[in-house]
Chain A
Amino acid sequence: MRFIFKTDYAQDIRLFQHGGQVFWYGLLLVLLLAAPYLVSGYVLSQLHFICIYSIVGLGLMLLVGYTGQISLGHAAFLAVGAYTEALLQGAGVPFVISLTCAALFSAVVGVIVGLPALRLKGIYLAIATFAFNVIVEEIITRWESVTGGNSGKLLKAIELFGYRLASQESFYYLCLALTVLSCLALINLLRSPTGRAFVAIRDSEVSASCMGINLAYYKTVSFAISAALTGVGGALYAHKVGFISPEQFTLIQSIELVTIVIIGGVGSLHGAVLGAAFIIMLPQAISIAKGWLPDTLPQAGLQSVVFGLILVAFIIFEPYGLYGRWLKIRTYFDVFPFYRRGTFRRQRSYLRSERLR
């Protein structure tokens, strides 16, 4: 068990709390940097997706896990990012600018969605974002002159400062760099007043506003940042798959994105990344497992059942998600043999209700 004796305020706000963290995160970074030389092309391609979904997951985590605002419409921001990138690239805009525009434009859309959200709570917000998702999907389908409608849009490889990032490796490094930057930006935000304001809004709006926090401003900022990150994810996603069409950005996609947050563990940045990795690896795991099952089972149905079961099981048995499970395992070894099952038990709030009694 490690005890940290704080002797200086700066210790509180350091990026890494102790030397062990520096070592492990350093090792992780080295492994990730070396990955193209260690793993096969197929695995590398999966790593692309994990990075992209991690960025989106981080964005959603900020909104859902830290600000406590529900969104069932993040696929729409993904679409905004993807289509902005596709259109600007088609117009010959350099990648750095088109990516920035994808992020900014998504953020603007995020602000627009965030505005009604200022008055809506809980399930009403979920429905509003979900309605927004459906409407965006329909706009993309119908606005054929710009989006290509159902026939979709094709994207070329990225050109960055004159280099064509056509290879798997170069695209991987781009995704990795953006993922790490997103992580750092959110860590910075969460250890500053803005991040604390988000947490305050999540835990008690009344109390937050009585502490001088402008609810409208911070909710809008949270929506904007979340949408911007999702837009960046969308732009990368568009390049990764090379072809985008409306059916990639449906409500189902939105739900899958939320699942990243839930399975990863609400309220932790680690969770967003772990959840993304899990969601990407799940279909592979299922198709491997299917080898042992009777052939008559349809793949789509099986995937749907397994996905549902995992979601339900996580919420019932591991409400803190993958990251929570990891914390428990770590604590178990840290305090061995004194770990008790109740250590992480969570409190239920039977009486706190959204409704006024």
Chain B
Amino acid sequence: MSFFAVENLGVRFGGVVAVDGVSFSVKQGEVYTIIGPNGAGKTTIFNLIGLIYPPTSGRILFEDREVSGAPHHVAQRGIARTFQNIELFEHATVLQNLLIGRHRHRTTNLLEELLFLPKVRRAEIAQREAVERVIDLLDLAHYRDSLVAGLPYGIRKVIELGRALATEPKLVLLDEPSSGLNPDETDDMAFWIEDIQKELGITVLMVEHDMNLVSRVSDRVLALNEGRVIAEGTPGEVQSHPAVIEAYLGGGE
């Protein structure tokens, strides 16, 4: 019985083996971080979990069932994600972006929506109440009705987190949540990750470079290099693991 597990996951692009037999499992309620130098295959693992490309080998299990199908099936299972280079809906407002996150909780069908029956109205109000909780949590009220296209990077990063939370996931994948943020914003991000874990009870799987953030919020850390697992354990253990030090600083030969 495991909450989320990846078994022997591998993918090759042409002749390049990007991920090579990676296995790990995430316990419900923890913050699990994947670290590794650039090109280690961290984001590729996320894309494999999201079924954006098919793996060459291995399988992904969520709540003891295999994750398969198209990317939208992953989301419907309760796995949400953010992207390294923000992928928001640029020409929509912040509110609309978050509401799109509510898509998997849609209760109305096309015909009802065309006529905008009272049922649709009630559903829309309910969706807005749910979104408003996320807006409150992440302090986004000020930007509620602004178009995403004009907002600064730091805010967009938060909106992306909000959009993932709006899906009410059981597991959230954060792809470098602190990249491009200044120290203050990174600090806020750390608080939110703790909130997500402790208050919302959502399990977090994240890829991150900022070791301060990693040690602060992570329960366990997995280190990758060249597509292979080189160490796993608490942040302290992994940071002092010789293979990790070698991967980051280069071999001694």
Contact = CB atoms under 8 A, between A and B. Distances in A.
Q: Are A and B interaction partners? A: yes
Contact of A10 (B80, B100, B104, B125): B125
Given A9-B129, A211-B101, A188 B114 contact: yes
A191 B124 contact: yes
B136 to A, nearest CB: 14
A207 B116 contact: no
Contact of A209 (B70, B80, B89, B115): B70
B215 to A, nearest CB: 28
Interface stretch (A48-56, A172-180, A193-201, A270-278): A193-201
A204 interface: yes
Nearest to B101: A211
Contact of A210 (B50, B113, B129): B50
Interface stretch (B22-30, B90-98, B193-201): B90-98
In which size bucket is the chain A interface?
Answer: 20 to 34
Nearest to B89: A203
B128 interface: yes
Contact of B72 (A13, A212, A347): A212
B87 A213 contact: no
A188 B103 contact: no
A210 B115 contact: no
A139 B159 CA distance: 50
A185 B90 CA distance: 25
Specify the main secondary structure of chain B where it touches its partner. helix
A168 interface: no
Contacts of A334: none
B120 interface: yes
Contacts of B71: 206, 209-210
Contact of A211 (B91, B100, B125): B100
A194 B100 CA distance: 9
Contact of A212 (B75, B91, B113, B127): B75
A231 to B, nearest CB: 16
A203 B116 contact: no
Contacts of B87: 204, 206-207
Contacts of B149: 347
Nearest to B96: A196
Contacts of A213: 72, 75, 100, 103
A81 interface: no
Given A203-B91, A204-B88, A210-B71, 11 more contacts: A13-B121, A192-B108, A192-B120, A200-B89, A203-B89, A206-B83, A206-B87, A207-B89, A211-B104, A213-B72, A221-B110
27 contacts: A9-B124, A188-B113, A188-B115, A189-B114, A192-B108, A193-B99, A193-B102, A193-B106, A193-B108, A196-B99, A197-B103, A199-B91, A200-B89, A200-B100, A206-B52, A207-B87, A207-B88, A208-B89, A210-B50, A210-B71, A210-B72, A210-B81, A212-B75, A212-B103, A213-B75, A213-B100, A347-B149
Interface of A: 9-10, 12-13, 185, 188-189, 191-197, 199-200, 202-204, 206-216, 221, 267, 347
Interface of B: 50, 52, 70-72, 74-76, 80-81, 83, 87-92, 95-96, 99-104, 106, 108, 110, 113-116, 120-121, 124-125, 127-129, 132, 149, 163, 167
Please name the 8 residue pairs, one residue from A and one from B, whose CB atoms are nearest each other, closest first: A212-B75, A192-B113, A209-B71, A203-B89, A212-B104, A207-B87, A188-B116, A9-B128
